[in-house]
Amino acid sequence: MSIQHYLDLLSVERGLAPSTLAAYQSDLRQFAAFLQKRDVEDLSGIDRETIQRFFEQIHECGAHPATAARKMTAVRGWCEWLHEEGFLQEDPAAYLATPKKQRRLPVVLSVEQVMRLLSQPTTTTAAGKRDQALLGMLYGAGLRASEVCTLTVADVSLTTRQVRCFGKGSKERYVPLPSVVIEWVTSYIKDVRPLWSGPSSREALFLSQRGTPLSRQAVWSLVKRYGRQANLPPEVTTHMLRHSFATHLLAGGASLRDVQLLLGHADLATTEIYTHLFPQQLRDSYDQTHPRA
């Protein structure tokens, strides 16, 4: 049913992240299996009622609202493409309402908790120096774990004290780095990375001791381990450091627009959620920044 062709198109034209493409692939395969169970053997059998029944089943199985919304996005996008390509005379998902996601406030760490976390690595060891630089990059620049894992040595400018990263949709942005993080990264690049670098390292900034680029799972595990050592909440994650970065900047007086650019959010409304953490202080900043405030 041309699912792979559609996903290939999304990868090339929209530059979706591999994780998003994998999720859409899983969602569309689930939908295809549903169609098969209902004896829908060709595309002409896909109608509005069938799609609605699919999502009723999703909700009956207790899917999280965000997951259900993503599945709806995947199915709607595929049906729209099938219609545009002439496989369907009409788009059966055109007027289906997308379920609203529950908007949850981001969980953040206090400044004191972050400082405890950053002080956990034993910097007398090579691994400890790497981990300190890694944690400093996650919090100091507010990067996603996937962004940290794809950094190259050339992406870090020690002279201009900034890092270049590529976010969702491969969008490029530059984020300034605190002096202390520059010191940690400089020490790691000078003293540690050459010890581990090898044929499989490519130009990756953060390496494992085997010389391979660190994976997101490895970064996630490091944050969890150091979080336990620092007696932080068990649910601490890499993304919690990103939330903390944004919240601490806003609490210190940074504008929503500035934080939006640093985080790489396409829409200011995405950054706006942080205003709920400091209602009055951030409301004032929002009123001064947002063009429709």
Q: Return the pLDDT at 101.
A: 55
> Across the chain, where does the E strand assignment appear?
156-157, 162-166, 172-176
Tokens matching residue 174? 């530059």
For helices 126-140 and 216-229, angle between their N-to-C axes, nearest 10 degrees: 100
**Any residues with CB less than 8 A from the CB of 184 and at least 6 apart, and which?**
129, 132, 133, 136
- Report the greatest alpha carbon distance in the chain: 67
Residue 121, CA distances (Å) to 79, 98, 137 in order: 50, 45, 14
Q: Return the pLDDT at 59.
A: 79
Q: Which residues are catalytic?
A: 144, 168, 239, 242, 265, 274
Bridge partners, residue 174, by sequence: 164
Q: How far apart are CA 246 and CA 138, in angstroms?
A: 12
Tokens matching residue 135? 């944690």
Q: Return the pLDDT at 292.
A: 59
Residue 95, CA distances (Å) to 49, 72, 85, 226 in order: 12, 12, 19, 48
Would you say how long the chain is, in residues? 293
One pLDDT digit (tens) per residue for the chain, 293 residues: 578 888 888 887 777 778 888 899 999 999 999 988 888 878 878 888 889 888 888 877 777 777 888 888 899 899 989 888 888 888 988 877 665 555 667 788 999 999 999 999 999 999 999 999 999 999 999 999 999 999 999 999 989 999 999 987 778 999 999 999 999 999 999 999 999 999 988 899 999 999 999 999 999 999 999 999 999 988 899 999 999 999 999 888 888 899 999 998 888 878 888 877 666 555 655 566 656 55
Residue ranges and CATH numbers for the domains of the chain are 3-84 (1.10.150), 111-289 (1.10.443.10)
pTM, entire model: 0.66
